[in-house]
Amino acid sequence: MKLIDTPIIFTKSKQNVQGAEIPRTKIPKLNPNEIINKNLLREDYAKLPELTEPEIVRHFINLSIKNHHVDRDIYPLGSCTMKYNPKINDKLASHEKITSIHPDENEKHIQGALKILYELERYLSLMTGMNRFTLQPSAGSQGEFAGLLVMQKYHKNKGNNKKYVIIPETAHGTNPASVILVGYKPLKVKSNEKGRVDIDHLKSLMNNEIAGMMLTQPNTLGLFEDQIEEINEIIHSEDGLMYMDGANLNALIGITKPVDMGFDIVHINLHKTFSTPHGGGGPGAGPIGVVKKLTPYLPIPMINKTNENYFEWDYNYPKSIGQLHTYYGNYGILVRAWCYIRTLGENGVKQMTRQAIINANYLKKKIEKVYEIPFSNGTMHEFVASCKNQKIRGIKVLDIAKSLLDYGFHAPTIYFPINIPEALMMEPTESETKETLDKFADALIEIDQKITESPEQLLNAPIKTPVKRLNETKANRELNLRFNYEI
Ligand SMILES: Cc1ncc(COP(=O)(O)O)c(C=O)c1O
């Protein structure tokens, strides 16, 4: 039994120690009894931790090094990409002029803030070819939900009685979950021997009850769905809509546009393509863009620019699916994406995409002699290895992932997509250097050698992290998140 040895900040608190000088305010002191209902007033001071500045800094620095993050080393998580977030994004988002405004302020006084949102929307529209975007959804998954609500409203408005949404078997789990949430039923389409949608199976599923198809492009095997034109024809033939899960847009942006591939709706995971924090399902940002015929259904408010270059909220969308988020989404995240796009510019964005594809292909080549890559033809920004040969020799993909932690790396995504046995899904992203990719590939190759030389090291990994290997079943069944929980 071992106690986790990091006390929480409250236990370090000492009375009357001050770590920060709060600036004096010119606002006259008000009597709280006069402005706040008595029942809501606190009876005592808030019990905030009292520490010196160095103690606070050390507390958080020590915490941050117990965890792996992209500022420490490569984080090659496939599908749910954690790419490097340039520091200039944070610098801008923390600027006083950004942090000191309130969404309830009169729009006249926050023109600059509205301009950023308006411009971000325009950039996303230009890059995807979509007519308009809403920036409200706070995660890719919420974007999916919003996009499907738009799809549903479009069909209801036309009097179409639609019931199903087609999803490939390799899709991210949030796709079927979102379909069920809006009240449609998911229908699974199989993959063919090349890892793309099986067209014959798709044809056999198609009928006039199909509301649309959700397709991840490139798909979660990192492969471009090259029969996209045929897929569109099939879905559109019964007035179905094509929804692009644009989580992997970082493999396409600047090179091709969803609208040119026939998509009607797209969501963008800003964290994956435009370097913002992910937020684990929110508070991140997952804007959705739609073609013209679907624009009336977008959430309100939208932002307009008048002829006098004035930015204003627009609630005049009578067919809208409603409001999705308080105010207008996660502003700080949106500012970061705007900053990233402005920093890179058109050529920079294109370069980013190319580099992401080159890096994934380089890493794949380095390890393919040791790790089998079942669908290797046409890799874009990510690829999936199968560790089934390693499993035959006694080491599961879970052991390989845990062993990578001992090398100081974050593990790739494992056991997804589910059509690949012992899947190890890698996305190095564009910001990693050749040296880092070499180091990571060498670690994977060395792990494979250890299967014969010292398998116990792999079975017991990780041994260098603050928390060692957990009994995951027990951790799930006996969840205890209290401080000083014994492990
Ligand atoms: C293909 C795909 N779709 C949807 C999502 C869900 O996005 P989010 O985690 O922002 O909710 C992800 C995760 O990033 C993804 O990889």
Alpha-carbon distance of 255 to 263, in angstroms, equals 16
Ligand 1, atom nearest to 144 Cα: 4
| CATH match of 355-477 with 3.90.1150.10 | yes
The residues facing 3 across adjacent strands are 486
Alpha-carbon distance of 332 to 350, in angstroms, equals 25
Alpha-carbon distance of 6 to 3, in angstroms, equals 9
The residues facing 313 across adjacent strands are 303
Any residues with CB less than 8 A from the CB of 282 and at least 6 apart, and which? 138, 139, 141, 142, 330
Ligand 1 pocket, residue 222 CB under 6 Å: no
Alpha helices (H) in 67-110, listed in sequence order: 87-93, 96-99
Contact 235, 210 (CB under 8 A): yes
Ligand 1, atom nearest to 269 Cα: 10
Closest Cα partner for 333 from 94, 124, 77, 105? 94
Ligand 1 pocket, residue 141 CB under 6 Å: yes
With the most atoms of ligand 1 within 8 angstroms of its CB, the residue from 170, 249, 269 to mutate is 269
The residues facing 414 across adjacent strands are 424
User: What residue's CA is closest to ligand 1, atom 16?
Assistant: 79
Q: What is the mean pLDDT of each run of 10 residues along the chain (487 residues)?
A: 67 87 83 86 86 93 89 92 92 95 93 97 98 96 97 97 96 96 98 97 98 97 97 98 97 97 97 86 87 98 96 97 92 97 97 98 98 96 98 98 97 94 97 97 98 97 92 88 57
Ligand 1, atom nearest to 271 Cα: 10
Ligand 1, atom nearest to 245 Cα: 3
Residue 190 vs residues 102, 106, 167, 187: alpha-carbon distances, Å: 49, 52, 9, 10
Residue with tokens 């970082």: 250
Ligand 1 pocket, residue 220 CB under 6 Å: yes
CA of 124 to the centre of ligand 1 (A): 18
Task: Report which residue type is found at 43.
Answer: E
Contact 410, 469 (CB under 8 A): no
Ligand 1 pocket, residue 413 CB under 6 Å: no
Contact 150, 142 (CB under 8 A): no
- At the topology level, CATH places domain 96-341 in Aspartate Aminotransferase; domain 2 (3.40.640)
CA of 2 to the centre of ligand 1 (A): 36
Ligand 1 pocket, residue 79 CB under 6 Å: yes
CA of 202 to the centre of ligand 1 (A): 24
Ligand 1 pocket, residue 269 CB under 6 Å: yes
How much of the chain is helix, strand and coil, in % rounded to 5?
A: 40, 10, 45
Ligand 1 pocket, residue 245 CB under 6 Å: yes
Alpha-carbon distance of 158 to 348, in angstroms, equals 42
Q: Where are the domains of the chain?
A: 1-66, 96-341, 355-477
DSSP 21: P
The number of angstroms, rounded, from the C-alpha of 268 to the middle of its chain's C-alpha atoms is: 9
In degrees and rounded to multiples of 5, residue 228 shows phi and psi of: -60, -35
For 468, the token pair is 């060692």
User: What residue's CA is closest to ligand 1, atom 14?
Assistant: 80
Handedness of CA 480, 481, 486, 487 (dihedral sign): positive
Question: b/e for 305-332, b at 16 or more Cβ within 10 A?
Answer: eeeeeebbeeeebeebbeebbeebbbbb
Any residues with CB less than 8 A from the CB of 260 and at least 6 apart, and which? 129
For 128, the token pair is 């995807």
Bridging pattern class, strands 288-290 and 311-314? unpaired
The number of angstroms, rounded, from the C-alpha of 457 to the middle of its chain's C-alpha atoms is: 33
Strands (E), 122-184: 132-134, 164-168
Ligand 1, atom nearest to 284 Cα: 10
